[in-house]
Amino acid sequence: MLSVDNIELFYGQVHAVKGVSLTVNAGEIVTLIGANGAGKSSTLKAISGVHPTKAGSITFRGEPLQSLPAHAIVGRGISHCPEGRRIFYELTVRENLLMGGFLLSGTTALERLETVMELFPRLRERLTQLGGTLSGGEQQMLAIGRALMSNPALLMLDEPSLGLAPLVVEKIFQRVVELNQGGLTVLLVEQNAHIALGISHRAYVLETGRVILSGQSADLALDERVQKAYLGG
Amino acid sequence: MFLQHLLNGVTIGSSYALIALGYTLVYGVLKLINFAHGEIYMIGAYLGFILISLIPTLPPSLQGNVVLLLLCVMLLAALLCALYGYYLERICYKPLRNAPRLSPLISALGASLFLQNFVMITMGARDKIFPQLLKSATITLGGVSFTWLQVAIIASSLLLMAGLSLFINHTKFGTAIRAVSSDPYMAGLLGINVDSVISLTFMAGSFLAACAGVMIGVYYGTINFTLGYLGGIKAFTAAVLGGIGSVGGAMVGGLLLGIIEALGAGYFSSEYKDVYAFFILIGVLILKPSGLLGRKSHERA
Ligand SMILES: Nc1ncnc2c1ncn2[C@@H]1O[C@H](COP(=O)(O)OP(=O)(O)OP(=O)(O)O)[C@@H](O)[C@H]1O
Ligand SMILES: [Mg+2]
């Protein structure tokens, strides 16, 4: 479904992604793990088009993505829920969600809103509240809900567990698994390798801008190097 | 007397508010002060003048309803000015989107000088006198004198402000403007074309400024190509007074500024009319640096 081939990404002089290649097949949960600064978020930014690549190619459902601006890539069926949630604090929960469905027609957006609220009933109770007044866990649900509004084929989640209590993290990942079982393909970036390898089918390990390991998540979880570096074993 | 000054203040203040909205909207999405905005207001006044001068050339059957004609003039001038606003952004700001923060400021000054001189050369440096279309009688009610023109100006301004509030708070594109103001990066990720939203913001601000220009032109009866300078500074002051970036703040700030000026001119000296507002501004900024309705912006990384 998604194929990333040898991409290079720079921030000025900083060479953040050095020839990363990866594929995501329809129906999979694929996870990227790696230490801080390994280039995980940058890889997602390249896919969603918010940061240009210097070289390499990205194709989604057979079509090249790199010539498209970020706002057009959403329309192709990729939704990027970025690091730090980025809730619109001054907008209500409802408005936040509706902005997620910006490209949809009015009635379709309202139908989608209903679906997303069924997924996260907590959001329904908070609809008229300002985004900035939600708790961290609720904000993460809102961020994921907002990303789902566009009814994507591929959802990219960047560190959804960040700063949340273990119980909330568990709940959120449970939703992600359910969504995947419902047919959604997921590309997940996670610091918490334990959970990430637990719920994903395949994984890539990034280090200083390169893929150093990849394979079935279950196998990687047993890999000595992965255990040492990311699973505290 | 107090009520009289108040009414005069609200008349002029509602125009300040309309112009101030343009500053505040653009600041919201770009975090930039569009210092050429005053010139858009001036051009709106000139477009109003040109269109009003054309009225006598219309077939007599169309000349009946002067109020309706003036309304059409205002709307047409505003639509044309929206195009000015669109191109102003495209030409002067968009190429500098990622430039150092000082560059757009210089570009704005350049645009200001260009537009002023453009109007001076094409329209002449002397004052333009608006034809008297409305023989508006002065009405006195409870010691307060006013004209229907004044009532019409206040009513139109309030309607325009209500319209803008509705647009910003209750439509999809209005919400998108607020989303871009809050986090343009995230807005882009959700499929919002940030460039289009920025253009839309410039167009809306220019539309309102042009309405103010036409109304002020008709109200005072004369305009000059330097009109945008003081008008721009005053409205900018109003926007800062109310809290830059806040739509409600621009409205409150504009009205307040007009009232302060009128009261100051009425009770103290009209020579210093243009100064009172700045005293108040300094006072407010010392007590509440983010302005009356401004919120502390939570900056993101
Ligand atoms: N906006 C930026 N400007 C300059 N350098 C950046 C920027 N964003 C990221 N970098 C650098 O690029 C490299 C990769 O960053 P990236 O955010 O992709 O890492 P990450 O794997 O997501 O890390 P984390 O787990 O901390 O989120 C890092 O060295 C980082 O310092
Ligand atoms: Mg990251």
Q: Using 50, 70 and 90 to split pLDDT, how confident is the model at A11?
A: very high
Instruction: Please tell me the predicted confidence (pLDDT) of residue B56.
Output: 84
Mean residue pLDDT across chain B: 91
Judge whether B293 lies within some domain: no
- Please report how many Cα atoms fall inside a 13 Å half-sphere around the Cα of residue A86, on the Cβ side: 25
CB < 8 Å to B192, chain A: 71, 99, 102
Mean residue pLDDT across chain A: 93
A38 lines ligand 1 (CB under 6 A): yes
CB < 8 Å to B301, chain A: 84
CB atoms within 10 A of CB A232: 8
Give the integer Cα–Cα distance in Å for B155 and B160. Answer: 9
Instruction: Please tell me the predicted confidence (pLDDT) of residue B299.
Output: 43
Judge whether B208 lies within some domain: yes
- Interval A149-164 mean pLDDT: 94
Q: Using 50, 70 and 90 to split pLDDT, how confident is the model at A233?
A: low
A16 lines ligand 1 (CB under 6 A): yes
What's the domain range around B134?
Answer: 2-287
Token pair 């929960």 is found at A93
| Burial class, B42, CB count within 10 angstroms (exposed 0-12 / middle 13-18 / buried 19+) | buried
- Nearest Cα of chain A lies from the Cα of B182 at a distance, in angstroms, of 6
Judge whether B292 lies within some domain: no
The alpha carbon of A74 and the centre of ligand 2 are apart by a number of angstroms equal to: 20
CB < 8 Å to B298, chain A: 89, 132
Instruction: Please tell me the predicted confidence (pLDDT) of residue B301.
Output: 34
Which of B149, B150, B134, B152 is CA-nearest to residue B4? B150
The alpha carbon of A34 and the centre of ligand 2 are apart by a number of angstroms equal to: 9
Instruction: Please tell me the predicted confidence (pLDDT) of residue A13.
Output: 92
Of B183, B188, B301, the CB nearest to A88: B183
Q: What is the ipTM of this complex?
A: 0.93
Q: Whose CA is nearest to atom 16 of ligand 1?
A: A39
For B78-112, the pLDDT digits (tens) are: 999 999 999 999 999 999 988 998 899 999 999 99
- Among chain A residues, CA nearest to B176: A99
As for how many domains chain A has, the answer is 1
Full strand arrangement of the beta sheet holding A154-158: A78-81, A154-158, A185-189, A29-34, A202-207, A210-216
Residues 6+ apart with CB under 8 A from B115: B36, B39, B40, B42, B43, B228
Give the integer Cα–Cα distance in Å for A201 and B25. Answer: 47
CB < 8 Å to B176, chain A: 99, 102
A34 lines ligand 1 (CB under 6 A): yes
Q: Residue A122: which CATH number?
A: 3.40.50.300
Of A71, A89, A149, the CB nearest to B188: A71
Q: Using 50, 70 and 90 to split pLDDT, how confident is the model at A231?
A: confident
- Interval B134-149 mean pLDDT: 82
Judge whether B301 lies within some domain: no
Instruction: Please tell me the predicted confidence (pLDDT) of residue B275.
Output: 84
- Interval A35-53 mean pLDDT: 94
Ligand in closest contact with the CA of A33:
1
Q: How is residue B97 written in tokens?
A: 């989107």
Judge whether B137 lies within some domain: yes
Could you tell me if A69 and A61 are in contact, meaning their C-beta atoms sit under 8 angstroms apart? no
Give the integer Cα–Cα distance in Å for B98 and A15. Answer: 20
Instruction: Please tell me the predicted confidence (pLDDT) of residue A55.
Output: 92
Judge whether B277 lies within some domain: yes
- Interval B16-30 mean pLDDT: 95
Judge whether B294 lies within some domain: no
Ligand in closest contact with the CA of A42:
1
The alpha carbon of B96 and the centre of ligand 2 are apart by a number of angstroms equal to: 29
- State the DSSP code for B89: I
- Interval A78-87 mean pLDDT: 95
Judge whether B295 lies within some domain: no
- Please report how many Cα atoms fall inside a 13 Å half-sphere around the Cα of residue A3, on the Cβ side: 8
Could you tell me if B171 and B164 are in contact, meaning their C-beta atoms sit under 8 angstroms apart? no
What's the domain range around A170?
Answer: 2-230
- Interval B244-270 mean pLDDT: 91
Q: Residue B122: which CATH number?
A: 1.10.3470
CB < 8 Å to A41, chain B: none
Question: Is residue B301 within 8 angstroms of chain A, CB to CB?
Answer: yes
The alpha carbon of A158 and the centre of ligand 2 are apart by a number of angstroms equal to: 7
Residues of chain B with pLDDT > 90, as a percent, come to 68
Instruction: Please tell me the predicted confidence (pLDDT) of residue A208.
Output: 92
Give the integer Cα–Cα distance in Å for B30 and B181. Answer: 7
CB < 8 Å to B178, chain A: 88, 90-91, 95
Give the integer Cα–Cα distance in Å for B248 and B251. Answer: 5
Of A93-102, B128-137, B213-222, least confident by mean pLDDT is B128-137
Q: How is residue B278 written in tokens?
A: 């700045």
pTM: 0.92
Instruction: Please tell me the predicted confidence (pLDDT) of residue B139.
Output: 85
Ligand in closest contact with the CA of A206:
1
- Interval A187-194 mean pLDDT: 91
The alpha carbon of A17 and the centre of ligand 1 are apart by a number of angstroms equal to: 9
End-to-end, the C-alpha distance of chain B in Å comes to 53
A14 lines ligand 1 (CB under 6 A): yes
Give the integer Cα–Cα distance in Å for B89 and B270. Answer: 37
Question: Is residue B248 within 8 angstroms of chain A, CB to CB?
Answer: no
- Among chain A residues, CA nearest to B246: A90
Residues 6+ apart with CB under 8 A from A39: A9, A16, A17, A18, A20, A206, A208, A209, A210
As for how many domains chain B has, the answer is 1
Say if residue B296's pLDDT is above 70.
no
3-state secondary structure chain A: CEEEEEEEEEECCEEEEEEEEEEECCCCEEEEEECCCCCHHHHHHHHHCCCCCCEEEEEECCEECCCCCHHHHHHHCEEEECCCCCCCCCCEHHHHHHHHCCCCCHHHHHHHHHHHHHHCHHHHHCCCCEHHHCCHHHHHHHHHHHHHCCCCCEEEEECCCCCCCHHHHHHHHHHHHHHHHCCCEEEEECCCHHHHHHHCCEEEEEECCEEEEEEEHHHHHHCHHHHHHHCCC
The alpha carbon of A13 and the centre of ligand 1 are apart by a number of angstroms equal to: 12
Vertex A202, ends A8 and A207: CA angle to 5°?
40
Whether B300 and A86 lie within 8 Å, measured CB to CB: yes
Say if residue B268's pLDDT is above 80.
yes
Q: How far is CA A143 from the centre of its chain?
A: 10
Q: Whose CA is nearest to atom 29 of ligand 1?
A: A37
CB atoms within 10 A of CB B172: 14
For B146-171, the pLDDT digits (tens) are: 888 899 999 999 999 999 999 999 99
- Please report how many Cα atoms fall inside a 13 Å half-sphere around the Cα of residue B117, on the Cβ side: 6
